[in-house]
Amino acid sequence: MFNRKWSIALLILLGGFLYTLVQFILSTNRLQHQVDNLLPGQAQAVPSRRILLISQELDNPYWQSIEQGARKAAGKYGMDLEYTGPLRINPEEQLSLLEQAIASRPSAIIVQGTGGADSKGLIDRAMALGIPVVTVDADEPGSRRLFYVGSDNLAAGEEMGRLVAEAANGKGTVGVLLGTARADSQRLRLEGLRSIIAKYPDMNIADVRTSDISRLQASEQTRSLLAAHPDLKAVVGFSSLDGLGALDAVRQLRTNRLLFAFDDLDETKEAVQKGLIKLTLVQQPLEMGSTAITLLHDYFQGKTVPNVSYTSIRLIGDSGIAKPDGEGAP
């Protein structure tokens, strides 16, 4: 009888001890949690946002500058930036990479608008899945993209038109090279140029050719333009390799024309300095990348972001021009 009472007492004591121990552990954990919250620099770990940037061409200096601007801003806001793109310009591969990006479910996607129903469809699909899509460099009109960051391409085309008209003294025919007719950026630049040239009765755009963003193709198209329009006074290139391709052509033909370029490749700047290219309008890819990430950060913080955010364009060169035929040699 005595042993039975003793066993019951021991069990009661053991139960009380275990209960006290559990309460002590729970209390300690709660206290530690409160202390952690009070300690400076001990913020709660938040999963990093993964941002995918899809370029037009992986090793293109222009797109590497966009990546550089985006990566610096991503580091500032604690985001992980992944950079990808075709090794060579290939719109179909760009679309395939966009499709793969959507399947990987990143926090957001930054991509160039490539034009066409397929691009719009993929952007709309991503948005429907809750993946914000930002267009950069070239917009994708009609899509559900979150916002666009890049040059005001219509204004850039208008500015080019004013510069061409001024250099040509309001007279003569103009040939135009586009990187691709599909891109919204190229279409808008051409539209802006046309609107200004139309104001000059003694000027006209003789023809518009496509270079497929190839220096060799730009050179061949310039040769074809000059063969079809021997009196051509100026050639305007609206993608980064067009101006250099046009310069190659006039050198090979031992002729001369007013040449206008876009962007600031080292060779382009050197040609402007030597007076072989009249001038070049330069976009700001670093600014594009940085702004895209900054606005995405604002969006994730619940702030209202603009539908369009235009980055700056600057002019390089306006002197030392190589003169048209009969007025000097290159």
User: Considering the entire predicted model, what is its pTM?
Assistant: 0.79
Tens of pLDDT, residues 148-177? 999 999 999 999 999 999 999 999 999 999
Tens of pLDDT, residues 285-317? 999 999 999 999 999 999 999 999 999 999 999
Q: How far is CA 33 from CA 26, 43, 167, 310, in A?
A: 11, 12, 71, 46
Using 50, 70 and 90 to split pLDDT, how confident is the model at 283?
Answer: very high
Q: What topology is assigned to 50-152+285-311 in CATH? A: Rossmann fold (3.40.50)
Q: What topology is assigned to 153-283 in CATH? A: Rossmann fold (3.40.50)
Q: Where in the sequence of the chain do the CATH 3.40.50.2300 domains occur?
A: 50-152+285-311, 153-283
Fill in the amino acid letter for 89: I
User: Between these two residues, 106 and 62, which has the higher pLDDT value?
Assistant: 106
The pLDDT of 89-96, averaged and rounded, is 92
DSSP string over 176-207: EEES-SS-HHHHHHHHHHHHHHTT-TTEEEEE
Q: Which H or E run contains 51?
A: strand 50-54
Q: What is the pLDDT of residue 327?
A: 39
- If one counts every other C-beta atom within 10 angstroms of the C-beta of residue 311, the result is 21
